Structures are given as structure tokens and as C-alpha cells.
């Protein structure tokens, strides 16, 4: 897409950090950043061929701290962006939903297909995130049905890689940053919760395939369906990257982290593989090593705080 003349416009209120902590300095004249609030009505000069709603507070520590903002950014943000897509006659609208909309899946539905309707609490500590994503999917499909907005939805499964924040309590950056500091790797509860992890260079082609090639009104899982590992195994894999320096340690859930996390999470990728040719390539060990290399460069000098 970037081979054609185009301009990318990002809108962010930077509620979780400064501009520089996310993407640093950008010199490409085709990329324009706007500090703004998508929960308010939007106006944009010129056309808008592709609109991506990726705004949200995806880390449990953030949606525990900002529950109302989590709800508003998903639902009100989508309403305003969908209206913009309708007015601008956008070619494609992509909404970043979440694997969290499946809740804690029935074991008979793991790997989990897009047709699974979920096992989600509407009043639990994660509900502000899970349920706002579910309602936003409904809103997107309603705009597709009423106004023919070419809506596509992705449900990412534990995407990781360079650029993540070390202090937002997501497991991969937490383990790697603590390993670099020589600290123990905190494994919540018994450590038997399982996940699959998708490296960013595998996830991005999936997102673009959906944005550019999927038909409107469709939903796709994006992730990796191999190497479903429990958290203790993941901690041991990370500790192997720091031989003799760090070890895993079982801990209770911290107060700022919602404790009702799913026991298992693994996507069924048959739909996106069959329809769009999606094929993730990076195994977990390789992805962890690449992410660690980025963290080595990003970590501040001793005594400073990484965000």
C-alpha cells in the first residue's frame, strides 16, 4: 500500500504515555500525528480511504485503572470513526477487537473459532474491556448492515514484540525487562494458564490482509495456533535467555491486575488461512530472542525507569 502516494494520520490522546514513549521521532512526511480524542466527533480534511480503529487500553493494568476510558475509547471511538468512514465513503474499515471477547472458553472450543460466542462475565473485573469490545463488534456490524460500511474485524491473540512497554503487566515484556534487571520472573497463581504467542512480524501481515483483501462484514482471528505453553513454561524459556541469572517465582495476583483471566487461549486459524493465506512463521524462542534484543537497546541506564 505504501508504494502508492498516501498519507497516514494517527490520532491518540496518549493517556498511557508520551508520544516519544510510543513511536519516538518520525521524519517520514507521509505520517502525520494528531493528539486528540476519538470519543469526540471527528473532522478530517480530505478523503479517508482506509480507517483503522486500534485505539484502546489493551493491558489489564490500564483497563483496571481507566475502566470508563476503556469503554468510551472502544464504543464512542468506534461510533465516531464509523461515522467518518460512512461520510468519507472509506474503502475499508478495520476494527481491532480482542481474543478477550471469547472470555474463558469451553475446553471443547479450543482452538477457538470465530463462531464461538464466548464465556464472558459482564460484571467481572475485566468486563469493561471484554464487553466494550463485544459491543463495538455489534456496532461495526450494524454500520455494515445499515450503511454498507466495509467493516472488517480482527481478534488478535497475544501479539508481542519490539515496542512494548515494560511496566504494563503484560507477560512477555514483564519477563524480559525483569530478566535484564536480574529480577525474578513473577508467575501468577499456579502458573498453569496457557497461551499461544504471535510475534509482531507475523501479526502485521494478518492485519493488512484483512484490511486490504477481506470482504466486508467478516471477522478473523489473528495469532499463532502452535506452541500453547503455560506461564511457568514461558518463564522457564525466558530464564534460559539469562543462564544462571534469573528464575521463575510463583506469586499472588497483584491488586492492580484483574485475577479472572482465562485458563486457556489458542486461536483456530482455519478461516484466515483458508481465505487470506495467512501463515505465521516465527516460533516462540525466536520471537523472544528478537524481542530481548530490542529491550537490550531500549532499557535505560541503571537507576532509571523504563516505560
Residues whose CB is less than 8 angstroms from the CB of residue 231 and which lie 6 or more positions away in sequence, other chains included: 171, 187, 188, 191, 192, 193, 194, 195
* DSSP assignment string, 149-204: --EEEEEE-SEE-TT--TTS--HHHHHHHHHHTT--EEEETTS--EE--EEHHHHH
Residue of 62, 129, 160, 220 marked catalytic: 129
Query: Quick check: is 253 catalytic?
Result: no
Give the Cα separation of 153 and 95 in Å (integer): 5
CB 35 within 8 A of CB 78: no
Contact 50, 211 (CB under 8 A): yes
User: Environment class of residue 28 by beta-carbon count within 10 Å: exposed (0-12), middle (13-18) or buried (19+)?
Assistant: exposed
Enumerate the active-site residues. 129
Amino acid at each position: 500500500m505504501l508504494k502508492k502516494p498516501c498519507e497516514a494520520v494517527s490520532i491518540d490522546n496518549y493517556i498511557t504515555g508520551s508520544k516519544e514513549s510510543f513511536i519516538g521521532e518520525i521524519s517520514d512526511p507521509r505520517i502525520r500525528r494528531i493528539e486528540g480524542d476519538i470519543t469526540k466527533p471527528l473532522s478530517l480534511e480530505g478523503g479517508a480511504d482506509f480507517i483503522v480503529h486500534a485505539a484502546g487500553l489493551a493491558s489489564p493494568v490500564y483497563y483496571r485503572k481507566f475502566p470508563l476510558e476503556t469503554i468510551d475509547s472502544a464504543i464512542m471511538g468506534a461510533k465516531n470513526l464509523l461515522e467518518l468512514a460512512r461520510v468519507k465513503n472509506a474503502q475499508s474499515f478495520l476494527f481491532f477487537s480482542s481474543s478477550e471477547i471469547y472470555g474463558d472458553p469451553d475446553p471443547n472450543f479450543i482452538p477457538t473459532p470465530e463462531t464461538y460466542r464466548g464465556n464472558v462475565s459482564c460484571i467481572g473485573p475485566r468486563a469493561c474491556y471484554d464487553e466494550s469490545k463485544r459491543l463495538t463488534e455489534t456496532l461495526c456490524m450494524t454500520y455494515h448492515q445499515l450503511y454498507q460500511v466495509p467493516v472488517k474485524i480482527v481478534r488478535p491473540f497475544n501479539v508481542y514484540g519490539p515496542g512494548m512497554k515494560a511496566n504494563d503487566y503484560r507477560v512477555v515484556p514483564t519477563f524480559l525487562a525483569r530478566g535484564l534487571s536480574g529480577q525474578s520472573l513473577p508467575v501468577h497463581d499456579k502458573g498453569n494458564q496457557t497461551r499461544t504467542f504471535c510475534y509482531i512480524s507475523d501479526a502485521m501481515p494478518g492485519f493488512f490482509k484483512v484490511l486490504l483483501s477481506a470482504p466486508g462484514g467478516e471477522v478473523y482471528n489473528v495469532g499463532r495456533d502452535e506452541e500453547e505453553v503455560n506461564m511457568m513454561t514461558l518463564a522457564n524459556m525466558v530464564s534460559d535467555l539469562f543462564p544462571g541469572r534469573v528464575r521463575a517465582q510463583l506469586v499472588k495476583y497483584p491488586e492492580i491486575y484483574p485475577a479472572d483471566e482465562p485458563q486457556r487461549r489458542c486461536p483456530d486459524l482455519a478461516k484466515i488461512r483458508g481465505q487470506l493465506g495467512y501463515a505465521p512463521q516465527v516460533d516462540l524462542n525466536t520471537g523472544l530472542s528478537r524481542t530481548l534484543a530490542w529491550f537490550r537497546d531500549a532499557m535505560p541506564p541503571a537507576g532509571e525507569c523504563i516505560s
